[in-house]
Amino acid sequence: MSDIRISGLTKRYARGAAPAVKDVSVTVEDGEFFVLLGPSGCGKTTLLRAIAGLETPDTGTVHLGDRDVTALPPRRRDLAMVFQGYAVFPHLTVAENIGFGLRMRKEPRADVDAAVRYAAGLVQLGDYLDRYPSALSGGQRQRVAVARAVAVRPSVLLMDEPLSNLDALLRLSFRSELKALAKELHTTIVYVTHDQVEALSLGDRVAVMRAGEIVQCGTPMEVYDRPVDRFVGGFLGTPPMNMLPGEVFGGRGVAGIRAENIEASTTERAGALAGRVRLVEPLGSQLLVTVAAGEQDVKILTPTDFPAGDGADVWLSVAPERIRWFDADTERALA
Ligand code: ATP
């Protein structure tokens, strides 16, 4: 079993400083794709490094399967990692880099070659096997690091923003491949990102972190549809959830409403919120429309043939069950 159990983990970098990770307890299931998501500085990397053994926690424990690895150095934890400052060996070719871990394990030559070709294909470096890293772009080097980690078919794989240097298209295709591969290999993956789209698309579960703590942990749909507080609602989704004062839609607290759940009409409707189109941003498959409604700007998503341009009057409505209410003071979800 390759589950990861983290219990009461706290890490401070300096005495008296705020903890980078604060009393985190969470279990990553065997074979799960687990994403740590949150804004810069919230402690994602620190938590990942503590799992890897690159940081020693002040308190708390890390178990891999039934082993307490808290006191073990990284090389004895039996996991593979791809970190931001990915290192490839400059004196080895792409193929030699990717096959490095397998050769260390003294696997048969034919098996190493097959695994290298497979992993290289996965990151679309099949045509670069004989090149040296000095003749690669930053993104290509990063892909070598990913392929090297994947090639050993690890039972636990830790990844910190592994796609950060890739262009949008490559990121997208690699994201799909990585997800398929994780399922095929039954690898337990902990994946750090601040990109919420990446988090939702990759994760079996997503842990949203803020200021060293996990504020919500759930399936992508849970954290997206049922954020536990305003922070999570605002962090996930493009655009972020609209936050409207209660009186707008007649409830107490703050109404959190996703742009795609707002229906817009160009004719007046009973009970709808009247507003005026302030800005239209084409997104390709949809329009992102900013509507000024009284004091408030409301973001909505419409089909591309939405008939209202700048300055047009529109009426907005939302099904009551699509509203997520938050306490105005504590910012916690009310339902
Ligand atoms: P990012 O997305 O920007 O990489 P993160 O969520 O991964 O951020 P961490 O790198 O874990 O965040 O940092 C958490 C906090 O710990 C931050 O306030 C950071 O400044 C601090 N920190 C991280 N590494 C060190 C260090 N080596 N020494 C001192 N403070 C550190």
Q: Is residue 334 one of the residues assigned to a domain?
A: no
Q: How does pLDDT run across 259-285, given as a tens digit for each residue?
A: 999 999 999 988 899 999 999 999 999
Q: Which of 24, 45, 161, 196 to mutate to test the pocket of ligand 1 (most atoms within 8 A of CB)?
A: 45
Q: How far is the CA of 13 from the centre of ligand 1 (A)?
A: 9
pTM for this model (two decimals) = 0.90
User: 210 with 273, same domain?
Assistant: no
Q: Final residue of a domain: which of 233, 258, 278?
A: 233
Pick from 152-161, 220-229, 267-276 the range whose average pLDDT is largest. Answer: 220-229
**What are the angstrom distances between the C-alpha of 289 and each of 3, 172, 181, 314, 319?**
44, 26, 38, 11, 19
Instruction: Name which residue leads in pLDDT, 171 or 207.
Output: 207
Average pLDDT, rounded, for the chain: 92
Question: Does some domain include residue 250?
Answer: yes
Claim to verify: residue 201 and residue 257 sit in the same structural domain: no
The residue that leads in pLDDT, 138 or 80, is: 80
Per DSSP, the residues of 262-313 read EEEESS--TTPEEEEEEEEEE-SSSEEEEEEETTEEEEEEE-TT----TT-E
Fill in the amino acid letter for 21: V
By residue range, what is the domain housing residue 257? 238-326
Does some domain include residue 335?
A: no
Name the domain count of the chain: 2
Answer whether 203 contacts ligand 1 (Cβ < 6 A). no
- What is the rounded average pLDDT of the residues 198-224? 96
Q: What percent of the chain has pLDDT over 90?
A: 72
ipTM of the complex: 0.96
Q: What confidence score (pLDDT) does residue 172 get? A: 83
CB of 46 sitting under 6 A from ligand 1: yes
Single out the residue in 202, 233, 264 at which a domain terminates. Answer: 233
Residue 220 pLDDT exceeds 80: yes
Q: Are residues 91 and 136 in the same domain?
A: yes
Nearest CA to ligand 1 atom 21: 20
C-alpha 97/C-alpha 79 separation (Å) is 17
Question: 72 with 109, same domain?
Answer: yes
Of the three residues 172, 204, 233, the one that is the final residue of a domain is 233
Looking at the predicted structure, is the pLDDT value of residue 40 above 90?
yes
